[in-house]
Amino acid sequence: MHNKIPESRKRSLYSDFRILKELNPEGYEANVVFWSNYIVSSSKSIIINSKSFLESLNDPTYHLPKSIDVAFDFLVNNRKLIPVNDFIMPESNFKKNLKWIVSKSIIDLSFKIRSANKTSNKQTNSTLLTNSYIDSIDLVNIGYLQELYDTELARSLKTKILDSATRITDLIFSIDSFSRIILSFISKEEKHADTDEHIQRNILLIYLTKYKNIISYDSENQVIKVHKNTIKESLKPISESDIAISRLKDTITKFTIRNTHLETNILDCDKSIKDAVSTKSPNLARKYLKTKRISEIYLNKSLANLEKLESTLDIINNSLDNLELHKSLKMSNILIGEINNKVGSVESVENLLDDLDDNIQNTNAITDILSSAVPLSTDEEQEIDNELDQMINGINNKKIANNNDNDIDQIIYKKLQDLQINDSSPIETIDNKNQEKVTQNTVKLSE
């Protein structure tokens, strides 16, 4: 069940180390930190029962830890563990503030899990094996809830609801429907044996509501609304419309299940009729045939009712779409009006454009004046013309030189074509190895 505790530390961890708080604060702190981490990391369950957890730590040599209550107190006071009742029905802010003031000024009202009438240092080891020195309290494991959310809940919400939701009613459920879709991953091993399954389900729903802001949850009417936008300020409570939609969807689900049952019953009757006919049992065949007819009548009526219910849901969706469209158009109209008010009237825009044209013309005129404000002298103008002529002549000379090079290449190529080869001399094959000889002959011909 739990991670292994180092043998080298068991003597200290299983002792009543509360006395170390004054004598050895570092040792005391180390033991509290170890047990705190051990409790939350080794308990893979939504709810931890303090007494059951303590008894699971029974050691043949050291028996039960004598000061694990200190770690439980630390975790509860730091909201890592929360008593189930406080989690389901949390205290008001006023009551919390009042307790804090009283704890600071009069008496310590912080959470204490050690039984008021029991002290471990007055008990023998044998007594500790049978009687726990701490109260039996169910505690919500916040760390494990976060782990469940990260590994299961967030993915299930996304893939099974949010990704496929195209209409507003796709995000509204009864608690039973929502639990079948999202909370079915909780295996029997994860369920706390001594805790009602509905309590665990409520804990998960409260966690999604108050800690993750992903749903709105009405426990009285058993309705849940999933939110695509999880900004807390934008979340709205369950409305009467949501309750009506949830009940309509539940009714559709019930009719769908009923129709499936009737269809299965009709198929079974068909099989039974064939078996009765084959065994020559006409009375039995007649009985099954009558049952089949009745089931078909109920099925036809149920299908008609289901069609009406689904049609009603479609109309509701269309109406909700129209409502959203109306809100969007209304908000867009307000926004356009606000923007136009900032822009001003048509006349003011026209005046703005006229002013803009005037300013552009003035700018161009100023630029022309400034560009001609410092004229060049005649000598400077002549120097510019001479420099330009030199640049043009340089370009032309380069072109002529390139043309002369091309003419020389043409003359060499023509001489090569007119070259006569003496038949009495051996013909040399021109390849990469004798390329140098060809080059030398070419030079001589050019000369």
Backbone angles phi, psi at 172, to 5 degrees: -115, 130
pLDDT at residue 35 is higher than 60: yes
Which residues have C-beta within 8 Å of that of residue 57, sequence separation ≥ 6?
A: 2, 5, 64, 65, 68
Mean pLDDT of 270-286: 87
Side by side, the strands of the sheet bearing 138-141 are 47-49, 138-141, 81-83
Q: What integer pLDDT is reported at residue 400 of this predicted model?
A: 72
The pTM of the whole model exceeds 0.85: no
Closest CA to 2 of 42, 41, 40: 42
Lowest-confidence segment of 194-203, 217-226, 254-263 by average pLDDT:
194-203
What is the C-alpha to C-alpha distance for residues 28 and 225, in angstroms, rounded to an integer?
47
pLDDT at residue 428 is higher than 60: no
291: tokens are: 């049952």
What is the C-alpha to C-alpha distance for residues 435 and 429, in angstroms, rounded to an integer?
10
Q: DSSP letters along 283-338, please?
A: HHHHHHHHHHHHHHHHHHHHHHHHHHHHHHHHHHHHHHHHHHHHHHHHHHHHHHHH
Q: Which of the two residues, 110 and 275, has the higher pLDDT score?
A: 275
Closest CA to 242 of 219, 254, 220, 225: 225
Mean pLDDT of 323-327: 91
Q: Which whole-number Å values give the CA distances from 382 to 74, 391, 393, in the listed order?
A: 96, 14, 16
Q: Which of the two residues, 400 and 311, has the higher pLDDT score?
A: 311
Which residues have C-beta within 8 Å of that of residue 245, sequence separation ≥ 6?
A: 169, 172, 313, 316
**pLDDT tens digits for 239-248?**
999 999 999 9
**pLDDT tens digits for 361-406?**
999 888 888 776 556 677 777 887 788 788 888 887 777 767 666 6
**Pair 179, 193: CB distance under 8 Å:** no
Q: What integer pLDDT is reported at residue 240 of this predicted model?
A: 92
3-state secondary structure of 4: coil
Which residues have C-beta within 8 Å of that of residue 177, sequence separation ≥ 6?
A: 249, 250, 253
Q: What integer pLDDT is reported at residue 171 of this predicted model?
A: 92
pLDDT category, 44, cuts 50, 70, 90?
confident
Residues in the chain: 447
What is the C-alpha to C-alpha distance for residues 437 and 55, in angstroms, rounded to an integer?
105
**What is the average pLDDT score of the chain?**
80
Residue 352 identity: L
Return the bridge partners of 216, or none: 225
Closest CA to 129 of 78, 76, 60, 73: 60
pLDDT category, 417, cuts 50, 70, 90?
low
Q: Which of the two residues, 340 and 383, has the higher pLDDT score?
A: 340
Mean pLDDT of 104-112: 56
Q: What integer pLDDT is reported at residue 231 of this predicted model?
A: 60
Q: Residue ranges per domain, the chain? A: 1-136, 139-238, 251-341
